[in-house]
Chains A and B, each alone.
Chain A
């Protein structure tokens, strides 16, 4: 039981990083970002590419992934999403859905991932099938480090948003764009930074997952729905909500898949049931402040 709980926490930690990024984009900026899963894929691919070409450990190449995803995210927002945003939320959904298709198909080109599955494997890869035994509990080493990383990122993000000028500007631009402009905040630039930051978080999750999961162009779709569920579950725009939501989903899936007969085929159902219950009885989410 404890093992199942810990397994759930480990994967929940990764879900939390992905959801953190989306809570900034969807929760704060109200942009329905259908490309969020693709940024996880880009993170996985960047990590794979750097390891294959340069032999650099995936946890060290997080710095590069962060920059790559940040800039792609910033560009996507500034060049396209910001224009669609003016016409309403639904348009951001359509635009990012189209961008998602483009990103998946570009990634499937032979020069990048190609149509097959890739794996980050290698004799000199510390994380390959690495398990740590802590007090009788087995941990997937890369997910365990990912869990610690999630905690650090949550802390940093909270401080950033509350204590730094840029962070405050980001919140202001999202809450009251007109008032933010009036006080001199460059709203388009700050919004682009917010989107880029959200994308960067998704990319970091990709690095963490790259040694445990196969890497292929359309893998992002597996994370997209989960990410939206977590963001709504935890409360739109709430960082602790995204973190807790991710952990709750991870643990629920783990228990459901392990203990409910036939549960493995329906593991997604458990998280969605929790999601329905929260929407019924607490629609603002666990940490939301009211609809």
Chain B
């Protein structure tokens, strides 16, 4: 005799299983792999906040062709191997039509590979390793500048103000490698600038020996590459300890371009420059609206990452509104036809110089003044004049 409780349980399971899948037809799912835990969780949070803000705005305005957007996030812990599993999990959900996210170069590359193998379109919004759009992938698109492109505006600045010698303190990972290989190496050689590179390991605590070595070259400009605000801060602390005093300290985005750097480094961040993705024009109405809305909701100004994340959702929404059918191949085709203006600048995916489906994104040189990042070059986008390093006293 089957007990009554067992029958009741079986009945409940049957009812639950037969209930229709939650409103699948009214929802368009977007998948994103983000570092929600681990050392890079601060970035994951930025993107989640930005994505959510955009999704909420779009849904409040009626969604895309009447359907609501739904964000599905999987945690990469900023580890490529776990990022791979996270991407595969998203890919296995057939309702997810398009991917974004990735964040670090390592995870982005893995996500791109999995996306290409599984024929699901993937919009990179931040990952900077040039390889992701230099591998001939058809399903991978990138709206942000590559690491190789980060220093475009800085190179223009050097064209007008050629430095006598430059020491580049570079992080020993895929990101640092791309900044050098696709960005600065050829430029410095062609411009005939005395350029040397000193590498350090990410997370290294005692960076003073490097700064002592850098100081021995008496550089006019010190370029630093740091993947996170912790390394960016340790570099400046070590520079002070070694009394390294160039005319300019220039970071290359990432760690040097987030508020965490100004918070951790305090006075040491003052006048530090950073060359990387453009982070919006405050004088533009649409950007101002986003900026004010974000600051009110989250209590801090949005930076490059937030602008990228917010824009990515709008780019995806635009593609989803134009797609002939709601399947992955059609969304891919719609994405390829993108040609729009956003608060991150124009977005159009092109093939050029060995890149495929790459947007010619705008970069700038910004400077930390009084704990805020202000664009100082190119002049047309400059919010103020560039200030030289004032020395350690």
Binding site for B on A (CB under 8 A): 3-4, 7, 11, 108, 115-117, 119, 121, 128-129, 131, 138, 140, 212-214, 216, 218, 222, 253-254, 257-258, 262-265, 267
Contacts and interface: CB of A to CB of B under 8 A. Distances in A.
Contacts of A129: 237, 240, 267-268
Contacts of B212: 3-4, 258
A213 B266 CA distance: 14
Contacts of A258: 209, 212-213
Interface string B162-183: 0000000000100000000000
A70 to B, nearest CB: 25
Given A115-B42, A140-B241, A257-B206, 9 more contacts: A115-B37, A116-B41, A116-B260, A117-B260, A119-B264, A121-B264, A131-B241, A264-B200, A264-B207
A138 B199 contact: no
Contacts of A214: 205, 230, 233-234, 264
B26 interface: no
B37 A131 contact: no
B38 interface: yes
Nearest to B172: A265
Interface in B2-47: 37-39, 41-42
Contacts of B233: 119, 214
Interface of B: 37-39, 41-42, 172, 198-201, 203-210, 212-213, 228-230, 233-234, 237, 240-243, 260, 263-264, 266-268
The binding surface of chain B is classed by DSSP as helix
A253 B266 contact: no
B138 to A, nearest CB: 36
20 contacts: A4-B209, A11-B206, A115-B42, A116-B39, A117-B228, A117-B230, A119-B233, A119-B263, A129-B240, A138-B241, A213-B205, A214-B233, A214-B264, A263-B209, A264-B198, A264-B200, A264-B209, A264-B213, A267-B204, A267-B206
Nearest to A263: B209
A253 B210 CA distance: 12
B209 A115 contact: no
Contact of A257 (B39, B210, B268): B210
Those 5 A-B pairs whose CB atoms lie nearest each other, nearest first: A257-B209, A115-B41, A258-B209, A117-B230, A119-B264
Contacts of B268: 129
Given A115-B37, A119-B233, A214-B234, A138 B213 contact: no
A202 B260 CA distance: 28
A216 B39 contact: yes
A147 to B, nearest CB: 15
Nearest to B41: A115
Contact of B38 (A115, A128, A131, A212): A115
A158 to B, nearest CB: 28
B240 A264 contact: no
A175 B41 CA distance: 47
Nearest to A250: B206
A262 B209 CA distance: 11
A253 B223 CA distance: 24
A264 B204 contact: yes
A116 B209 contact: no
A171 B93 CA distance: 62
A253 B206 contact: yes
A172 B263 CA distance: 51
B243 A138 contact: yes
Contacts of B243: 138
A269 to B, nearest CB: 11
B54 to A, nearest CB: 23
Nearest to A116: B42
Nearest to A118: B264
Nearest to A125: B266
A7 B37 contact: no
